[in-house]
Homo-oligomer: A and B are copies of this chain.
Amino acid sequence: MKRISVFCPATIANISCGFDVLGLALEAIGDEMIVTKTEEPGIRISKITGQALPLETMDNVAGVAGLALLNQCDYEGGFEIEIHKKIKPGSGIGSSAASAAGAVWAMNELLEQPFTQLELVNFAMQGEALASGVAHADNVAPALFGGFTLVRSYEPLDIIKINTPPELYATVIHPQIEVKTSDSRKILKRSISLKDGIKQWGNVGGLIAGLFLEDYDLIGRSLVDHIVEPVRSMLIPGFNEVKSETIKAGALGSGISGSGPSIFALSKGKETAERTADAMSKIYNNIGVEYDVYVSKINTIGMHKI
């Protein structure tokens, strides 16, 4: 195989209580990448559609992630990458992760899988570091593994795939305001009370248990964030209204997607997820902020050939 076309899913990181450790992959939103083996060594970004992003390899997250992989293997050729962006950078649903993870996943396929999924996460994290200054894994892990993932530890990197209940749907609304990942990290407090910590790991435990038990109510009860949401939500106009209206619409719970400004909700069943989308949309129609809104099944396979 010389060329591959890949679907690179958008992802929701944090998932309320799981700051920096939990993430999930979406089915309805994602980029497309076409990666081709070349005789010329190195990585060339030949084309980007949908967004104005740098074609220079070292300035592009896909380029940087790809080079990290290339540096670790014997292959003497190179790759040409074409990126068709559907995920808007800065939206909070893993735009850079999709590109970084997509590049290394495609390259690994073309090289006949010399690397494990965990190694691919490591390479893709180099791209994330370029995008946000922090080599986080909570978007690239679900983009590569699919479904829900837990980053149990960064040193050493340890990623666990968590069960996805079959009727779970995500609703995501992206109000078109700019919140940079690097800015939204700056406003976080460096210390937290032990009391809030206990509540947080109680909810992380509850969410993981709810996913394995396929207990939708437990999933909903666990979608609580005592630490990051109270601070970051101040950067997102309409956040509190969205939270309360999504619950009224029947969603299990909601929170900030990644570092925002997108807000996600999880629901049991597509109908409720769509009702939740309507409720979210109404709020931004009233405020007068432009938005994109999506309803999606959880993508349980991650990156895949198209």
Binding site for B on A (CB under 8 A): 17-22, 150-153, 158, 160, 162-163, 188-195, 197-210, 212-213, 218, 221-222, 227
Give Cα A227 to B201, complex, Å: 12
When chains A and B are docked, how far (Å) is the Cα of A223 from the Cα of B192?
22
B contact residues around A193 at 8 Å (CB): 190-192
Name A201's contact: one of B188, B201, B218 (CB within 8 Å): B201
CA distance A38 to B152 in the complex (A): 53
Bound CA–CA A213/B203 (angstroms): 19
Copies in the complex: 2
User: Which single residue of chain B is at the shortest CB-CB distance from A197?
Assistant: B197
Q: Known pairs A188-B194, A191-B194, A208-B208. 14 more at Cβ < 8 A?
A: A17-B201, A18-B201, A150-B205, A150-B209, A160-B205, A160-B210, A162-B209, A191-B191, A192-B192, A194-B227, A200-B201, A204-B208, A205-B205, A209-B212
* Complex Cα gap A80–B153 (Å): 51
| Nearest CB of chain B from residue A160's CB, rounded to whole Å | 5
Using A191-B193, A227-B194 as known contacts, say yes or no to A206 and B160 having CB atoms under 8 A apart: yes
Once A205-B21, A205-B204 are accepted as A-B contacts, the answer to whether A197 and B152 lie under 8 Å apart by CB is no
| Given contact pairs A160-B218, A209-B150, A21 touches B188 in the complex (Cβ within 8 A) | no
Cβ-defined contact, B162 with A198, below 8 A:
no
Known: A153-B221, A158-B221, A209-B150. A200 touches B197 (CB 8 A): yes
B190, A192: Cβ atoms under 8 Å?
no
**A192 & B189 in contact (Cβ 8 Å cutoff):** no
Report how far A62 CA is from B238 CA in the complex, Å: 50
- Asked whether A21 and B227 contact (CB < 8 A) given A191-B191, A206-B150, A206-B152, the answer is no
Chain B residues with Cβ below 8 Å from A227 are 194, 197
User: What B residues does A19 contact at CB under 8 A?
Assistant: 198, 201
Kindly name the residue among A22, A197, A218 whose own CB sees the greatest number of chain B CB atoms within 10 A: A197
Max count, chain B CB within 10 A of own CB: residue among A198, A205, A207: A205
